[in-house]
């Protein structure tokens, strides 16, 4: 549904998007993530025909964003980070106006508005559709913005920071709605809040310094975290120093960090990345007659991978800038 090839965007001497390529298949929910200033919003504005690229090519639903922009706009729903709304208009009035702009036939507009109002939780309480937009909370304004996006039922949705400014309950509701929309639409959303993206998306694209640093399913990216393996063990039955010394003697152990409370010693055991020490620790505790209350392995998080990969990308960017200076 979305194809990007060698896309580049310059703002004067600043390269915001640097020769990126990716593909989004039908029915995917893709998280486009990266630090502030990485090029996420610029890429989305190019895909939604808000601005042209300096070079490269992008198509949405088979239509080129530069040469066939009107058909791209018919097939896409774009919710920018700051949703443009008319605060003096009432919610139903605004949605009816937007439906007219989308060329929805007059006889079908009310049904289209009722459909998106129900989908975006605007139909209850019943007076919500009669309220002025300027009187709504940030969460409800986000819902109105999403309802506008869905009015013409586009096959592709582009959502830029859809949960920004929402409270925890509203964020959860928005995540559930986006997952539901994925059954009928191809969705690409940007964010720098990794936990939200991981719970919503089935594919991630990480961008840093204008370039794609990594792409794949969240589970795949977590497995690529490079760093020491860590085991958490809580033991009782020997002095702290004895426990530390004995665990340190196991093959593959790099360091042991102890802390003792209520007679239990908690050990954070660092080892080589490819080593899982749980079996050895469990066997050692059984052989020594120690009580074992907890034993688990800490796996790499998406946040660990994000920090690691964006740092590496920024280092490479600085090296390129230094060489070109």
DSSP character string of 295-321: EEEEPPPHHHHHHHHHHHHHHHHHHHH
Tokens of 122: 């605007």
Using DSSP, state whether 239 is helix, strand or coil. coil
Beta bridge partners of 24: 2
What class is the 2-223 domain?
Answer: alpha beta
Same fold, 2-223 and 229-298: no
pLDDT over threshold 70, residue 43: yes
CB atoms within 10 A of CB 153: 14
Question: What's the CATH superfamily of 229-298?
Answer: MTH889-like domain (3.30.70.1340)
For position 119, what pLDDT does the model report? Answer: 87
How far apart are the C-alpha atoms of 79 and 68, rounded to whole Å?
20
Share above pLDDT 70 across residues of the chain, in percent, rounded to a whole number: 90
Tokens of 257: 């960090």
Rounded to two decimals, the pTM is 0.75
301 — pLDDT class (breaks 50, 70, 90): low
Helices (H) and strands (E) in the chain, counts: 11, 14
Residue 268: burial class (beta carbons within 10 Å; 0-12, 13-18, 19+):
middle
Domain assignments of the chain as residue spans, ordered by start:
2-223, 229-298
Tell me what the mean pLDDT of segment 78-102 comes to. 93
For position 283, what pLDDT does the model report? Answer: 93
213 — pLDDT class (breaks 50, 70, 90): confident
């Amino acid at each position: 549904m979305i194809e990007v090839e060698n896309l580049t965007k310059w703002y004067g001497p600043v390269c915001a998007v640097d020769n990126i390529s990716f593909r989004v298949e039908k029915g995917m929910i893709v998280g486009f993530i990266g630090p502030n200033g990485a090029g996420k919003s610029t890429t989305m504005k190019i895909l939604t025909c808000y601005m042209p690229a300096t070079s490269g090519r992008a198509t949405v639903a088979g239509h080129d964003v530069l040469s066939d922009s009107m058909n791209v706009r018919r097939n896409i729903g774009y919710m920018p980070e700051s949703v443009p709304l008319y605060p003096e208009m009432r919610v139903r009035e605004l949605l009816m106006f937007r439906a007219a702009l989308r060329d929805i036939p007059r006889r079908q507009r009310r049904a289209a508005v009722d459909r998106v109002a129900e989908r975006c939780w605007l139909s209850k309480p019943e007076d919500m559709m009669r309220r002025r937009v300027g009187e709504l909370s940030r969460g409800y304004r986000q819902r109105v913005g999403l309802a506008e996006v869905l009015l013409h039922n586009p096959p592709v949705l582009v959502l830029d920071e859809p949960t920004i400014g929402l409270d925890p309950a509203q964020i959860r509701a928005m995540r559930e709605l986006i997952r539901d929309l994925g059954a009928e639409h191809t969705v690409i959303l940007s964010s720098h809040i990794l936990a939200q993206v991981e719970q919503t998306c089935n594919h991630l694209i990480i961008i840093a310094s204008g370039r794609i640093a990594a792409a794949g399913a969240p589970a795949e990216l977590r497995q690529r975290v490079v760093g020491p393996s860590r085991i958490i063990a809580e033991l009782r039955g020997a002095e702290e120093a004895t426990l530390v010394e004995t665990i340190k003697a196991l093959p593959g152990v790099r360091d042991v960090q102890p802390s003792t409370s209520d007679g239990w010693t908690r050990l954070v055991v660092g080892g080589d990345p490819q080593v899982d020490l749980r079996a050895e620790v469990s066997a050692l505790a059984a052989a020594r007659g120690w009580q074992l209350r907890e034993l688990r392995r800490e796996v790499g998080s998406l946040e660990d991978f994000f920090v690691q990969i964006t740092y590496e990308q920024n280092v490479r960017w600085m090296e390129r800038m230094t060489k070109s200076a």
